[in-house]
Amino acid sequence: MSRGTGVRRDWGGDDGGATILHVDMDAFFASVEVLDDPSLRGRPVIVGGRERGVVASASYEARAVGVHSAMPTARALRLCPDAVLIPGRHERYREISRAVMALLGSVTPALEQLSIDEAFLDISGAQLRLGRPTAIAELIRERIRDEVGVPSSVGIAGSKHVAKLASGFAKPDGLLLVPVAATVPFLHSLPVGAMWGVGEKTREQLADKGVRTVAQLVTVPEHALGRWVGQSLAARLLQLAWGRDDREVTPGRVEKSISTESTFREDSWDRAELERVVLRQSHECAARLRAAGLVCTRVTLKVRHSDFATITRARSLAAPTHLAADIAEAARSLLSEVSLRGGVRLLGVRTDGFVEAAAAGWQATLDESEARLAAEQAMDAVHHRFGRATITPASLLQPPDH
Ligand SMILES: [Mg+2]
């Protein structure tokens, strides 16, 4: 997230009605490493792949000299030669994540986990028991620190969008309340890139038109904005920019996407090889979907070229699926439309748009699907027994945390 340097850290203390909390762990993977090895405290810690990898998480000591998530590890080590580089222990991070989420769930069942290290809480039903929103937020931060041992930041606001922005400005190890009455002034003080839904591409498109702040954004007529970034995004951005966001905290959506990425030891130009990788990745996603009892409705292919330019291409599926064959068909078709210019450094497949397989009444009804499902489930069993390493390409990277 882009952070304006002049963002106000105090928007007043009236927390009435500010019942949405966004809880986000600080430099999560790095913090877990410090927890498990206290000799690392106060030192620059980088979790990431050594060879050709990227930074998955960096402690604030490393961030102080410019290291950030998704930066190539080699560059991070040049910026911060004293850093302790740790390859990453994702099973341990998941374990700590489960402890944090269990703790949050004891505050309120109205808990929506967004990723391994962040969640929304709607604490409107917990106030009688636990007090005002700011008191609950402080309680949460204290308990995570005391009972789990890692630092977190909390944003408090009247909507998910603003709570998420607020936690970003609360970091590290802080809390930021945006009173409901301050919602619009807060939003209009921000750079447009801070908004949810504004990625690097949209930010550049808007900057080309001279729109750099949210305050500038709201002066653009919707039809003009629509011509620049597309009508649906334009409408959504203007709603958000005026603080209109009535999305509810939706419990139980633990996973929003299932994805896997591979960084190659050497850049690849070989389409046949890339297709094989995509197939393996599709199998991995499908197995994880089945294990979670989910079916996906969208497949996204991610390609990072040698010069680090990264593109994603998504395709909605005709029918929900948890079959590798369907996922691979979509992913390979997307790959066929991508130029391999200069070589490919990283390839990834993501599935999302989940529906619970049982709730959707979805099942493989066609004979062909059933046969494929049986074959794929047999493969799941083999992987379960012998370990996933048998099909895992090069080095698998987890998505970077924030
Ligand atoms: Mg985080």
All domains of the chain, ordered by start, with CATH?
A: 12-181 (3.30.70.270), 190-240 (1.10.150.20), 257-397 (3.30.1490.100)
Q: How far is the CA of 290 from the centre of ligand 1 (A)?
A: 27
Query: Most confidently modeled of 4-13, 54-63, 131-140?
Result: 131-140
- pLDDT higher than threshold 50 for residue 395: no
Catalytic residue among 118, 261, 284, 376: 118
Q: Which of 91, 70, 92 is nearest to 348 (CA)?
A: 70
Local structure of 120: helix, strand or coil: strand
Q: What is the pLDDT of residues 67-117, one digit of tens each?
A: 998 889 999 999 999 999 998 887 798 889 989 999 999 999 899 988 789
Q: DSSP E strands: which ranges in 271-309?
A: 294-305
CA distance 154 to 164: 8
Q: How far is the CA of 152 from the centre of ligand 1 (A)?
A: 8
What angle do helix axes 271-292 and 367-386 make, rounded to 10 degrees?
90
Local structure of 266: helix, strand or coil: strand
Amino acid identity, position 296: C
Q: Provide mean pLDDT across the span 342-370.
A: 67
Which DSSP state fits 260? Answer: E
Instruction: Using the CB atoms, write b or e for 126-165: b if 16+ within 10 Å.
Output: beeeeebbbebbeebbebbeeebebbbbbbbbbbbbbbbb
Q: How far is the CA of 153 from the centre of ligand 1 (A)?
A: 8
The residue with greater pLDDT, 373 or 118, is 118
Q: How far is the CA of 254 from the centre of ligand 1 (A)?
A: 16
Q: How far is the CA of 147 from the centre of ligand 1 (A)?
A: 18
Dihedral, CA of residue 141, residue 169, residue 165 and residue 90, to nearest 10: -60
Pull the structure tokens for residue 22: 């966004």
The residue with greater pLDDT, 177 or 376, is 177
Q: Is 376 a catalytic residue?
A: no
The residue with greater pLDDT, 318 or 35, is 35
Q: Residue 265 CB: number of other CB atoms within 10 A?
A: 11
Residue 258, strand partner residues: 351
Q: Provide mean pLDDT across the span 285-295.
A: 81
- pLDDT higher than threshold 80 for residue 185: yes
Which pLDDT band, with edges at 50, 70 and 90, does 338 fall under? very high
Q: For residue 128, is it left (φ>0), alpha (ψ between -120 and 50) or beta?
A: alpha
Q: What is the residue whose two structure tokens read 């203390």? A: 13
| pLDDT value for 337 | 94
Q: How far is the CA of 48 from the centre of ligand 1 (A)?
A: 15
| pLDDT value for 370 | 56
